[in-house]
Structure 1
Amino acid sequence: MEQPILKNKHYEIEIIDLGAQGEGVGKIGEFTVFVPEAITGDVVEVRLIKVKKSYGYGKVMQIISPSPFRQDSKCAVAAKCGGCQIQHMKYQVQLDFKTKKVKDCIERIGGLKDIKVKDTLGMEVPYHYRNKAQYPIRKEEDSIQMGFFAQKSHRIVPSNKCSIQDPKNEQIMQIVTDFLNENHITIYNEETHKGLVRHLMIKTGYHTNEIMVCLVINGHKLSKADLLVAELRKVDGVSSILLNHQLAKTNVILGGETTLLYGKEYIIDKIGDLSFKISPLSFFQVNPLQTEVLYKKALEYAELTGEEIVWDAYCGIGTISLFLAQKAKKVYGVEIVPQAIENAKENAKLNGLTNVEFFTGKAEEIIPTLYKEEGIKADTIVVDPPRKGCDIYLLETLKDMAPQKIVYVSCDPATLARDLAYLVKEAGYTIGEVQPVDMFPHTTHVECCVSLKKN
């Protein structure tokens, strides 16, 4: 008689595959077990922590035989922190995993076969690539803790070292911690909504070495702020020190109001030959080296000759728009966030580009309105939607306008696959190729750039 699979019992399992979130997949007979922190080729002892009818989840108790694809994590708290899920995989294995993830989504969710998915483009040195960090600050007993949240929790994993953040962050974190301790500044409590200091945000100009330090507070003033400014100014590159005021009881990190303590209200960074102003509230890709790789691919897929009219839907602060404007006759960008459009206009001016125009609103409303009222018809449309993918009304707009080319930039393979299925099956487009780009090494996230042409 077959033995029942029991919760909390220990089993020896060989990991034979990887799941969509980078977790190991093994079998106990026909029973599937998902095991975080295990990879293909591992033989592990696991304790089952959740048991369903045909599958369960296990926790690694020991690695009996390590996979040849395994590497030691560079970060001491990688297994606890929620930032890096697959740092224990060799980098080429990470890239292969991401390529397969994109292929699987396109086939399984999109129902599209024989699509050319190229190998994921990785980094030469996949460490210390992030130009933005947001550290929650909490007080445990008499100790101030700063770090990142553990996976699926609001429990801080204290650490001032991170293998994917800029190394200067360590020095800044120590200065802020010492200031808070020495001056007895109160720390925010999520449950009671009492206390002052909530988060520390640091933004770094990868190519310019300019650093922004922003302390997020539950109030209007920070006492002895001049002492903090004096210490932070000793860090090479610090050119902007701000307070952000978040008074709401919310998980949203930043509030709408910011006070300048020192320097400028923004920093500058570059993508390729273009410069961009980065404010505390503006969105900017966190990996500028790979962003350039991604945008160059989008420009390649657009096949611009200098005569085209291009729409950039979900244009944000105009990063892709300005890239395209270097080669197009005219680029129109549309974004629903007013502040982002203001940043986009500033960035166009900063780079001396006059053949680009930006509109505030929903792409699915702005694009067809200007098409009908002013006859603005795009030869090429670029879409770079948020993780939820394109709004159905925008997809219908693309179908109606029927531009010759669409370039789809995606940060989520699942919603990308869903939208590609519509564009192919409903709107009459053919996919040229799909190029994954590793914007976030050591995580399960992958960006893609896709070329589509009208049949």
Structure 2
Amino acid sequence: MSKTDRTLPVSPGDTLEAAIETLNSSGDGIARVEGYTVFVPNALPGDRCAIEIVKAGPRWGAAKITAILSPSPNRVDAPCPVFPDCGGCRLQHLDYGQQLAFKTGAVKDALKHIGKIEWEGEIGSIAADPVYGYRNKGSFALSGRGKHLAAGFFRTGTHEVVDSTTCDTLMPPVNAIKEWLRQLMMRHNVSIYDEKTHMGFLRGIVVRHSTATGQSLVGLVTTRGIFKKKFLPELTGAAELERFGVVGILQNFNTERTNVLLGKKSKLLWGRDTMEDELDGLKFKLSLGSFFQVNPYQSVKLYSLVADWVKDESGLIVDAYSGNGGIALWLTRAGHRVLGIDEFAPAIEDAKESAELNGLSNCRFEAGTLESRLEALQQESIGTLIVDPPRKGLSKEVVDAIPQLNPKRLVYVSCNPATLARDLALLPQYAIQDIQVIDMFPQTPHIETAVLLGNT
């Protein structure tokens, strides 16, 4: 008899007690009811809870906590006033040491169960410090209008904006700039975009900030059109610009029906269209949309780790998903010869300007995908290939091309343990030498992993 033919042990509306055994990849607790898996948001391993079943499917169900009967010894008080409603930080109630254990365990499980890789070595972890106030970029969703303008992040599993004046994981200036802009929007009764009707003007707010330089860059994401005449003088003449280190304000246009906030085109409203950041003395020029790690404190640790892994590299290093050149420039400063590739052309322009800003000439940057550059790269003698793909992982073309490029060393930086495990299983000629979880996103279930592999 198949699972779908069995009578389920629970039905929606049922209430029962459950012991939470572990967490899934989203940070939800997992309970077993007669062998049937039930996901329980906001529950932790070691909790004993009273729960109500809200969904019962053929393979798994979902429940909500009605009471915590016996809390886990690893449960802590979350400082955020909108936890757990806001979907931004789902592990604030878990002791930080256990957050690290959860993340290293998730990587090990993915390698074993998805990649069928039995890694006998230790999976290391590089803890975050600080664990709050680390994010240098905020992308805020909006809803309502006038005196009822909500600005924050989405409720878990929905597109309902959870209004909050602050987010504990953001750097304080990012919160302050968002609140200043919210008050300004309310005073001018700016029309807010409604994604259901595709009506309205302002879709969201993006704020970047650097603690190293004190500079901030602001993006106001809109549909077509212009701001009211009275709005812009107050925006661009505000004392807050100097107080918060704002060096530029852009209007970004996004007219698509999409969940992606930033559109492809922007117009400068005031100041300049880039800002500068700095990591350990290395300067970076950043545009509104270019990729840059949101945790500068952990970025330094990641870049230093990769630099240590390749310190004896005398050949060409190819950074195949280079973004604005973070790793590539770090390695160039260390004396290596580096080629950075990224499909987002503005990020490549930022990388080139950053190289000039730092007086680095032993690197070059090219716009395009690794797939589009394969023929040219096969003419190079690559010592180390670095890949840092999006969550979907490497394409089949890239996986197939890596053996042809034949780098001596492969460094895989991943933001998704599942696709990391899948891809490594497809590259059996590369043996794992080290695995480190770099906690870029404390208080969240997001996992950043760096893996060093050698060509066998």
TM-score, normalization: structure 1? 0.93
335-344 or 151-160, larger mean C-alpha shift: 335-344
Q: Deviations over 1:115-169 (max 9, x none)?
A: 4242321113200111111111211696111111111211010001111012223
In 1, the alpha carbon distance for the partners of 2:404 and 2:393 equals 19
1:381 counterpart = 2:385: yes
C-alpha RMSD of the superposition: 1.9
Matched-pair contact (CA < 8 Å) for 2:318–2:338: yes
State the partner residue of 2:354.
Answer: 347
Cα drift, residue 234 of structure 1: 5.0
1:173 counterpart = 2:178: yes
In 1, the alpha carbon distance for the partners of 2:247 and 2:122 equals 42
Cα drift, residue 365 of structure 1: 3.3
Matched-pair contact (CA < 8 Å) for 2:218–2:288: no
In 2, the alpha carbon distance for the partners of 1:265 and 1:205 equals 15
Cα drift, residue 85 of structure 1: 1.2
State the partner residue of 1:304.
Answer: 312
Q: Give the counterpart of 2:278 among 270, 285, 305.
A: 270
Cα drift, residue 43 of structure 1: 0.7
State the partner residue of 1:106.
Answer: 111
Q: Specify the SS of the correspondent of 1:47.
A: strand
Q: Deviations over 1:189-228 (max 9, x none)?
A: 2233322222111110132121112211223321221112
Cα drift, residue 317 of structure 1: 1.4
Matched-pair contact (CA < 8 Å) for 1:229–1:262: yes
In 2, the alpha carbon distance for the partners of 1:390 and 1:432 equals 20
Structure 1 pair 142/16, CA: closer, same or farther in 2 (3 Å)? Answer: same
State the partner residue of 1:80.
Answer: 85
Matched letter for residue 220 of structure 1 = G
State the partner residue of 1:14.
Answer: 19
Cα drift, residue 333 of structure 1: 1.5
Structure 1 pair 169/380, CA: closer, same or farther in 2 (3 Å)? Answer: closer
State the partner residue of 2:3.
Answer: none
Matched-pair contact (CA < 8 Å) for 2:295–2:440: yes
Structure 1 pair 336/15, CA: closer, same or farther in 2 (3 Å)? Answer: same
Matched-pair contact (CA < 8 Å) for 2:37–2:60: yes
Matched letter for residue 264 of structure 1 = R
State the partner residue of 1:126.
Answer: 131
In 2, the alpha carbon distance for the partners of 1:315 and 1:182 equals 41
Cα drift, residue 355 of structure 1: 0.8
Q: Deviations over 1:286-333 (max 9, x none)?
A: 11111111111111122335x321111111211111112123442112
The 5-angstrom pairing of residues 115-194 of structure 1 reads 115-139=120-144, 143-194=148-199
Structure 1 pair 335/64, CA: closer, same or farther in 2 (3 Å)? Answer: same
State the partner residue of 1:411.
Answer: 415
In 2, the alpha carbon distance for the partners of 1:95 and 1:270 equals 27
Structure 1 pair 387/282, CA: closer, same or farther in 2 (3 Å)? Answer: same
Matched letter for residue 410 of structure 1 = S
State the partner residue of 2:442.
Answer: 441
Q: Give the counterpart of 1:317 among 303, 312, 324.
A: 324
In 1, the alpha carbon distance for the partners of 2:333 and 2:181 equals 42
1:420 counterpart = 2:421: no
Matched letter for residue 315 of structure 1 = S
Matched letter for residue 435 of structure 2 = V
Matched-pair contact (CA < 8 Å) for 1:118–1:435: yes
State the partner residue of 1:390.
Answer: 394
Structure 1 pair 248/31, CA: closer, same or farther in 2 (3 Å)? Answer: closer
Q: Give the counterpart of 1:242 among 250, 260, 272.
A: 250
State the partner residue of 1:359.
Answer: 366
State the partner residue of 2:293.
Answer: 285
In 2, the alpha carbon distance for the partners of 1:284 and 1:97 equals 25
| Ranges in structure 1 where 5+ consecutive residues have no aligned partner | none
Cα drift, residue 242 of structure 1: 2.2
In 2, the alpha carbon distance for the partners of 1:364 and 1:233 equals 43
State the partner residue of 2:4.
Answer: none
11-20 or 79-88, larger mean C-alpha shift: 11-20
Cα drift, residue 178 of structure 1: 2.2
Structure 1 pair 192/18, CA: closer, same or farther in 2 (3 Å)? Answer: closer
In 2, the alpha carbon distance for the partners of 1:291 and 1:347 equals 16
Structure 1 pair 220/27, CA: closer, same or farther in 2 (3 Å)? Answer: same
Cα drift, residue 270 of structure 1: 1.6
In 1, the alpha carbon distance for the partners of 2:10 and 2:38 equals 11
Runs of 4+ in 1 over 4 A off after TM superposition: none
Q: Specify the SS of the correspondent of 1:369.
A: helix
309-318 or 225-234, larger mean C-alpha shift: 225-234
1:201 counterpart = 2:210: no
Matched-pair contact (CA < 8 Å) for 2:249–2:268: yes
Q: Deviations over 1:368-411 (max 9, x none)?
A: 3243xxx3111111111111111222222211222211111111
Q: Specify the SS of the correspondent of 1:276.
A: strand
